[in-house]
């Protein structure tokens, strides 16, 4: 089976694909914190109905 093929050291294909998907999700989560920063974007504050003092 291809999921049992060793790629780099002890990492199999299935472990590599799982790590790749988790890496994409973590990258997306990290980037979103900069994209959706409501404290600096006045238009986003208005759309989200956030009042900033």
Sorted by where each begins, the domain ranges of the chain are 2-47
| SS3 of residue 30 by DSSP | helix
pLDDT digits (tens, 9 = 90+) for 26-44: 999 999 888 877 777 788 7
Query: What are the helix (H) ranges across the chain?
Result: 13-35, 42-47
* Rounded Cα distance, 38 and 1, in Å: 48
Mode of pairing for the β-strands spanning 11-12 and 6-8: antiparallel
Banded pLDDT at 19 (limits 50, 70, 90): very high
- The two tokens of residue 6 are 């060793």
Q: Would the pLDDT of 24 be above 90?
A: yes
Report the helix count and the strand count for the chain, using DSSP H and E.
2, 2
**Are 26 and 35 contacting, i.e. CB atoms less than 8 angstroms apart?**
no
Stronger pLDDT, 6 or 13, i.e. the higher one: 13
The structure's pTM equals 0.56
């Amino acid at each position: 089976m291809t999921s049992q093929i060793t790629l780099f050291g002890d990492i199999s294909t299935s472990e590599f694909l799982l790590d790749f998907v988790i890496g994409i999700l973590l990258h997306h989560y990290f980037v979103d914190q900069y994209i959706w920063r409501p404290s600096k974007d006045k238009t986003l504050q208005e759309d989200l109905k956030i009042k900033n003092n």
